[in-house]
Structure 1
Amino acid sequence: MTDHRHVLVVEDSRVQAKIISQHIAGCTPFPTIVAHSLAEAEQAMTARRESIFVAILDRNLPDDPDGRIVPLAKSLGIPSVVMTASFSEEVRKLLLEDNVVDYFIKTMAEMEAMERLIERLYKNQFVRALVADDSKLFRARLSGLLTNLNIQVLEAEDGRQALDVLAANDDIRLVITDYNMPNLDGFGLIEEIRAGKPKDKLAIIGVSAEGGHQTVRFLKVGANDFLVKPVEVEEFTCRVHMQLDILDLLQHCRELVAKANA
């Protein structure tokens, strides 16, 4: 996969754009491309699409009163993070409808959270996930959310097919599975996976329309986490990223131990 490394910063205030770019440059290894208008952003997105892995967007641009910048990024397959001076439930709904990865208020505290997200989105380019669900509609929903996080996605319509996909793709690091599936249900799938892949090598998130005992059973058979349908976008993003961060941390610890024992 192409190693995208640039962050596109779209901000009409040159002072604010400089602050954001300097923070990203100071706290991450990623160079920035800066645009101050919709026209400049569109040119950068189309001309340099292959080098951009995330866009930090201001929705209030002089030549874009209707917020077309976010759908533009979406149409080009560029994950977008919105920085906004004010926030409301109405704004939240609009942003989620446009499939933004996340949104932040323009404060120093939230800037740090945004920088952590940028680093995660970069790492996600090299992550493969498997979604197992017998509902084609729900598979598409979860696959779309994962793709929006820069994650490569494979699908399976039942537990048996999921095992076949895993056998053919040893680099899968995340499995999201429904409970109620034909041939082999979610519990059986997890038990089969855990026979060969421990929690510190592959993360599993169970999904079901029921909570309570379903949650407990998923965790007992080996899932790392659990989500209840219908899935909230922000919660989904947080839980997926939390599991991937844990896998990265454990891998780093193993490398340190191996180095110390060498």
Structure 2
Amino acid sequence: MKYRAAVRRRSEPIADIRKILIVEDSKTFAKALRKLLAEEIGLPIVSCASLNELHEVVTEEPEAYGIAVVDLNLPDAPDGEAIDFTVQRGIPTIVFTGSFDLQTRSRIMERDVIDYVLKNNEFALDTLVTAVKRALSNREMRILVVDDVTTARKHLARMLAVQQYSVIEAGSGTEALALLEANPDIQIVVSDYNMPDINGYELTRKIRRLVGPDKLRVIGVSSTTDIAVSAGFLKAGANDFISRPFMPEELQCRIANNADTLLQLKQLQELASRDYLTGLFNRRHFFENGPKLIKTVQARPSSTVAVLDIDHFKQLNDTHGHDIGDRVLELVARCLKDAVEGTGNLLARLGGEEFVILFPGMNPAAAMRFSDHLRLDISHATLQVGAETISVTASIGVAEADPEDSFDHCLRSADQALYAAKQQGRNRVCLAAA
């Protein structure tokens, strides 16, 4: 299975398709790690067992590696020289080590590495794979760092950049708000408290008036010894607070936890908006987002809605059973998805055998042509059930979405046109009367 850094559906490619480099002298450990990474992530993997081999493979393909997993101690590199080699060549590096103490930690953390993982327990391999996944997914996460003190801001930004996050900097609260407006893909804001124009509390309040915590996380930071500052940030709407000076591991974990929360919320929202059988958007999503889409294109000539119904679906269910009926629904959904994907049109399953498409900015004549192509595609699709080949047809009703009318009224008009298509013999497209 392949890992994806963005929405995390395994069917989609990750942003960086370069190779993963494993530097490990234990053949057993390297083999097991290679197998897990191949299963979970699916990127090409290159292994080497010494600093000398590492030199060779990187010299041959200096730009080939998107991330490296490097053992701290190798026979020909006992003091972390392999880590220095990958870091100096700009390869993001995760360290693993069989022994660990404060001195070892210092040796690792003084280098610009993403993370370190101990391999002295049964969960080491899984932890290491998770660290690689996180580093790849971090590249899709944009973070805004807000601090009027340049040195402090640059230091924090660098720490986050090492973690592979995409970082933007702001020197004031006012600049931060402007950057948020210009970059709606920002997902985490890390803000200092003491700033001359807008303090961290007020900036957090202003952000919360614009964006909810399910879309953007706010983390307060401060070097003050006043323990009330953290409470002030949280009461203003922040999701977390970190005290300076930063413990790198704590900073890493808190940022990662907030990033994970955003991903989980996005996944829940995605599940709530999808039809369980076909994977298309569901009725709720369509009714929540359809009116918004129409409003965004009011300057264009018009928008149109098409309601589609599978002909004789009840008879098909009664004859072949609900399992075959479900397969027919999936077949029709695939035809619709293939035609609509990438067009900007909104496709959903309303329920039962009924589907709907909103064509924002498309006039009725164009929507009729589009719908008739859909009708033909569906009529040519077949489902093999044992020795029998099943084919279906669909009737479609099309109606113009008048911005002055309610969304419900538009759908009722499309329903009436659908009824007319059924009455006229099915397997046809009808336009609602003006």
| TM category, shorter | over 0.9
1:30-63: CA deviations, max 9, x gaps?
3322111113223434554544332111122232
Question: In structure 2, what is the equivalent of residue 143 of structure 1?
Answer: 157
Q: Which amino acid aligns with 1:208?
A: S
**8 Å Cα contact 2:23-2:69 kept in structure 1:** yes
* SS of residue paired to 2:123: helix
- 1:251 alignment partner, one of 266, 276, 297: 266
Question: In structure 1, what is the equivalent of residue 118 of structure 2?
Answer: 105
- 1:55 alignment partner, one of 59, 62, 68: 68
1:89-112: CA deviations, max 9, x gaps?
100011010122222222331221
Q: Which amino acid aligns with 2:222?
A: S
Q: Which amino acid aligns with 2:33?
A: I
**8 Å Cα contact 1:128-1:153 kept in structure 2:** yes
1:89 partnered with 2:114? no
Offset at residue 13 of structure 1 (A): 2.1
Which whole-Å CA distance do the structure 2 matches of 1:4 and 1:124 have between them?
A: 15
TM-score if structure 2 supplies the norm length?
A: 0.58
Runs of 5+ in structure 1 lacking a partner?
none
Q: Which amino acid aligns with 1:240?
A: I
Which whole-Å CA distance do the structure 1 matches of 2:56 and 2:17 have between them?
A: 17
**8 Å Cα contact 1:2-1:50 kept in structure 2:** no
Correspondence list, 1:220-239, <5 A:
220-239=235-254
Which whole-Å CA distance do the structure 1 matches of 2:174 and 2:164 have between them?
A: 26
* SS of residue paired to 1:195: helix
Bigger mean CA offset, 227-236 vs 29-38: 29-38
TM-score if structure 1 supplies the norm length?
A: 0.93
CA RMSD of aligned residues (A): 1.8
Which whole-Å CA distance do the structure 2 matches of 1:2 and 1:254 have between them?
A: 23
Which whole-Å CA distance do the structure 2 matches of 1:195 and 1:45 have between them?
A: 49
Which whole-Å CA distance do the structure 1 matches of 2:67 and 2:169 have between them?
A: 24
Q: 1:4 to 1:50 in 2, by over 3 A?
A: farther
Which whole-Å CA distance do the structure 1 matches of 2:143 and 2:59 have between them?
A: 28
Question: In structure 2, what is the equivalent of residue 202 of structure 1?
Answer: 216
Question: In structure 2, what is the equivalent of residue 74 of structure 1?
Answer: 87
Provide the identity percentage: 37
1:133 partnered with 2:147? yes
Structure with larger Rg = 2
Offset at residue 228 of structure 1 (A): 0.4
Q: 1:154 to 1:59 in 2, by over 3 A?
A: same
1:197-228: CA deviations, max 9, x gaps?
11110111100113521111101111111000
Which whole-Å CA distance do the structure 2 matches of 1:229 and 1:4 have between them?
A: 36
**8 Å Cα contact 1:4-1:50 kept in structure 2:** no
Q: Which amino acid aligns with 1:121?
A: A
Which whole-Å CA distance do the structure 2 matches of 1:65 and 1:221 have between them?
A: 49
Offset at residue 186 of structure 1 (A): 1.0
* SS of residue paired to 2:90: coil
Question: In structure 2, what is the equivalent of residue 164 of structure 1?
Answer: 178
Bigger mean CA offset, 19-28 vs 212-221: 19-28
Offset at residue 64 of structure 1 (A): 1.7
Which whole-Å CA distance do the structure 2 matches of 1:230 and 1:85 have between them?
A: 29
Which whole-Å CA distance do the structure 2 matches of 1:144 and 1:113 have between them?
A: 24
**8 Å Cα contact 1:191-1:221 kept in structure 2:** yes
Q: Which amino acid aligns with 1:110?
A: A
Question: In structure 2, what is the equivalent of residue 42 of structure 1?
Answer: 55
Q: 1:25 to 1:195 in 2, by over 3 A?
A: same
**Bigger relative contact order, structure 1 or 2 (CA pairs below 8 A, ≥6 apart):** 1
Q: Which amino acid aligns with 2:135?
A: L
Question: In structure 1, what is the equivalent of residue 311 of structure 2?
Answer: none
Question: In structure 2, what is the equivalent of residue 240 of structure 1?
Answer: 255
* SS of residue paired to 1:108: coil
Question: In structure 2, what is the equivalent of residue 115 of structure 1?
Answer: 129
Question: In structure 2, what is the equivalent of residue 215 of structure 1?
Answer: 230
- 2:30 alignment partner, one of 12, 17, 20: 17
Which whole-Å CA distance do the structure 1 matches of 2:87 and 2:105 have between them?
A: 16
1:175 partnered with 2:176? no
Runs of 5+ in structure 2 lacking a partner?
1-13, 276-281, 283-347, 349-434
Bigger mean CA offset, 58-67 vs 161-170: 58-67
- 1:124 alignment partner, one of 114, 135, 138: 138
Bigger mean CA offset, 51-60 vs 134-143: 51-60
Q: How many residues align?
A: 262
1:135-165: CA deviations, max 9, x gaps?
1111111111111111111101111111111
Which whole-Å CA distance do the structure 2 matches of 1:224 and 1:29 have between them?
A: 34
